[in-house]
Amino acid sequence: MQSEPIRVLVTGAAGQIAYSLLLSIAKGDVFGKEQPVVLLLLDITPMLPVLEGVVMELQDCALSLLREIIPTDKEEVAFKDLDVAILVGSMPRKEGMERKDLLKANVAIFKSQGTALEKFAKKTVKVLVVGNPANTNCLITAKSAPSIPKENFSCLTRLDHNRARSQVAMRCGVPATNVKNVIIWGNHSSTQYPDVHHCTVNMSGSELACFDAVKDDAWLKGDFISTVQQRGAAVIKARKLSSAMSAAKAICDHMRDIWAGTPEGEFTSMGIYSTGNSYGVPEDLIYSFPWIFDFSDKSWKIVDGLAINAFSRSKMDATAIELIEERDMAVAFLAV
């Protein structure tokens, strides 16, 4: 017997990422093959004609789980009684735009959406922020929805996590699924730290530590890190467009793990509220940590007790410094 439909919002719904994402959500790849969904699709008014085309395509897929599609440019419609909010839409960085200008524009957007979550969504809503700068946009959203628990908010670093897994897998000549427990620490930016000190690689049936499998410490501490950090820019340079297919896949992975839990013995990376962590990361940031779903008490937890060497510590601190700067600038705009 199918359960009651859940209400899932995607913002920036006429955009590239949403176009790759919506079918996966609507056909059960994210919330399960027995879970009906109502899709709420929010975009700005000039994009409504394009959004109408997306709605027609979703209708034409003739999907058994898709109960209703609600396209809108109104937050009070889009955020009503939500179970899940996937906030993809944001102000993109334009040529010549200063970082502070980008932050200022996005603070306005995510303050408004946080306020709408506070007023209209369920208090149990799970919120994933994708639009960049994702960590700080997520923090602003959470601060603007004070009655929704902070642990319900996360930002997307799963794309970076998937990129790191894939780089190691290609280097070792194995499928990406043979690579487990990479970690993305910090900001979804070029300061993020892809960490493989706790990663294992399955080579011919044996679980090897990543450094033993790759056998190239200089690469793992050098080009591997910079490749993952700069991958988004490399895609833009090649495609003349930002990552969409891979971002949509990462959103699906992230939300499915939040909904159904992580595979046994594996952890994932996501940006979450830093207060109370055991790794010395400053309080009141959205910072990417290794996370695991504990099936014994049905809760999400930071993976604690991982050894952090001096190399990792310096990288983790550098990305935290950038996040503090972003936060302080954004909070100043929030007060205006």
Residues in binding site for NAD(+) = 43, 106, 130-132
Q: Which residues of 220-259 are buried (b: 16+ CB within 10 A; e: fewer)?
A: beeebbeebbebbeebeeeeeebbbebbbbbbbbbbbbbb
- Catalytic: 197? no
Position 276, amino acid: G
Annotated binding site: 43, 93, 99, 106, 130-132, 163
Q: Which of left, alpha, beta for 95 (phi over 0: left; psi -120 to 50: alpha)?
A: beta
Distance between CA atoms of residues 12 and 336, nearest Å: 25
Residue 167: count other Cβ atoms within 10 Å of its Cβ.
24
Q: Of these residues, 161, 188, 198, 254, which one is catalytic? A: 188
- In this structure, what token pair is assigned to residue 107? 């603070």
Annotated binding site for substrate: 93, 99, 132, 163
Eight-class DSSP state of 93 = P
Report whether 270 contacts 291 (CB < 8 A). Answer: yes
Active-site amino acid positions: 188
